[in-house]
């Protein structure tokens, strides 16, 4: 099974993007994948903004990227693009940090007018970092992510069905590329 790093680029303490990612993480973990959450907002701001490549938490984040077979990149849409917070971390990673990785790009946003931000803004950056396979991503309207009666994440069916599909495609791509455990 694969190791998946699930990265949120939202600066919000009550982030819908994070809630969405943790919901999807649970599904991937239930399939047997090791899922490691990484919220960029928890990394030290001075290291991100001061380009402190050697800061232990930046080094650790870089190692998590290197270890992962698959990476889920979730961002809110800000000003018709991905968040600046996400970019501060991507800028500190090695140029080809995504070499050999399978990547699932996801965005949440307030208006479908910016649904293409994933393709014109985020995807080229991920591609420039050497991602082996960027599977189709999905844009989720913020109002489609709510809290259910059980306290868990509730997704509007209009988003839940396509999300199931892109996550299934991501998982299938991981299964094709993840290292097979050595026979005993």
Ligand X SMILES: Cc1cc2nc3c(=O)[nH]c(=O)nc-3n(C[C@H](O)[C@H](O)[C@H](O)COP(=O)(O)O)c2cc1C
Among positions 42, 99, 111, 146, the unique one binding ligand X when judged by CB under 6 A: 111
Residue with smaller CB distance to ligand X, 40 or 173: 40
3-class state of residue 155 by DSSP = strand
Among positions 35, 71, 77, 92, the unique one binding ligand X when judged by CB under 6 A: 77
Compute the distance between CA of residue 103 and CA of residue 71 in angstroms, rounded to an integer: 5
Among positions 6, 7, 10, 38, the unique one binding ligand X when judged by CB under 6 A: 10
Per-residue tokens: 124 = 């080229």
How is residue 158 annotated by DSSP?
H
* Residues in contact with ligand X, shown as a per-residue x/- string from 127 to 146 under the rule CB under 6 A: ---------------x----
Among positions 80, 158, 161, 168, the unique one binding ligand X when judged by CB under 6 A: 80
Rg (CA), the chain: 16
Q: What angle do CA 153, 90, 174 make, to 5 degrees?
A: 60
Among positions 78, 82, 138, 170, the unique one binding ligand X when judged by CB under 6 A: 78
3-class state of residue 76 by DSSP = strand
Q: Quick one: which segment of 40-48, 51-59, 110-118, 169-177 binds ligand X (CB under 6 A)?
A: 110-118
Residue with smaller CB distance to ligand X, 7 or 174: 7
Compute the distance between CA of residue 153 and CA of residue 79 in angstroms, rounded to an integer: 26
Site residues for ligand X, window 12-71 (CB under 6 A)? 12, 15-17
# residues contacting ligand X (CB under 6 A): 16
Burial of 158 from C-beta contacts in 10 A (0-12 / 13-18 / 19+): exposed
Distances (CA, A) of 56 to 24, 59, 63: 28, 5, 10
> Footprint of ligand X on this chain (CB under 6 A)?
10, 12, 15-17, 76-80, 108-111, 114, 142
């Amino acid at each position: 099974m694969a190791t998946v790093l699930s990265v949120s680029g939202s600066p919000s303490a009550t982030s819908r993007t994070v809630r969405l990612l943790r919901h999807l993480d649970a599904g991937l973990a239930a399939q047997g994948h090791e899922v490691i959450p990484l919220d960029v907002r928890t990394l030290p701001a001075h290291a991100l903004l001061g380009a402190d490549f050697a800061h232990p938490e930046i080094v650790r984040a870089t190692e998590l990227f290197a270890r992962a077979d698959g990476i889920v990149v979730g961002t809110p849409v800000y000003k018709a693009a991905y968040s600046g917070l996400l970019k501060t971390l991507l800028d500190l990673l090695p140029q080809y940090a995504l070499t050999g990785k399978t990547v699932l790009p996801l965005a949440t946003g307030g208006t479908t007018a910016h649904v293409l931000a994933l393709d014109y803004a985020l995807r080229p950056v991920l591609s420039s970092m050497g991602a082996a396979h960027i599977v189709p991503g999905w844009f989720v309207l913020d109002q489609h992510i709510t809290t259910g009666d059980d306290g868990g994440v509730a997704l509007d069916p209009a988003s839940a069905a396509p999300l199931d599909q892109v996550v299934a495609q991501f998982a299938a791509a991981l299964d094709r590329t993840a290292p097979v455990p050595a026979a005993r």
